[in-house]
Amino acid sequence: MLRGCGRGAAAVLRGAAGSRGASGQERGPEPGRPLEPSLLRFLVCPLSKRPLRYEESTNELINEELGIAYPIIDGIPNMIPEAARTTRKRPPAEGSEQP
């Protein structure tokens, strides 16, 4: 029983650490896991099938046209449209910088 609780606690801590990493922040021991460069050859937006731009500062793959950004978590790009973030808070002409 106690062992299970301990493991549960460890899992929660690990989960919390993982979600912190997901925001693209650099953690102490590990560099903010960048994308495997060879993957960029293959990856496109799953919705429009158009090329993506890798944004190093936020560690995201950006589709300029649709104004959406796919996060890269632990070096694994999350290419599920539901998970993507819209980048457009300002008119498209100004680019897709984060507000």
Q: 85-86 and 60-63 as β-strands: parallel, antiparallel, unpaired? A: unpaired
Is the Cβ of residue 36 or residue 56 nearer to other proteins in the bound state?
36
Structure tokens at 4: 């299970």
Distances (CA, A) of 15 to 3, 20, 22, 42, 58: 18, 9, 10, 29, 20
| Residue among 42, 49, 33, 38 nearest 81 (CA) | 49
Q: Tell me the window of 23-31, 80-88, 91-99 that interacts with other proteins (CB under 8 A).
A: 80-88
Residue in 21, 32, 39, 54 binding other proteins, rule: CB under 8 A: 39
Q: In whole angstroms, how large is the CA radius of gyration of the chain?
A: 16
Q: Is 7 in the site for other proteins (CB under 8 A)?
A: yes
In the complex, least distance from residue 87 CB atom to other proteins, rounded to whole angstroms: 17
Q: Which of 21, 32, 43, 55 binds other proteins (CB under 8 A)?
A: 43
Residue 79 contacts other proteins per CB under 8 A: yes
Confirm or reject binding of residue 34 to other proteins (CB under 8 A).
Answer: no
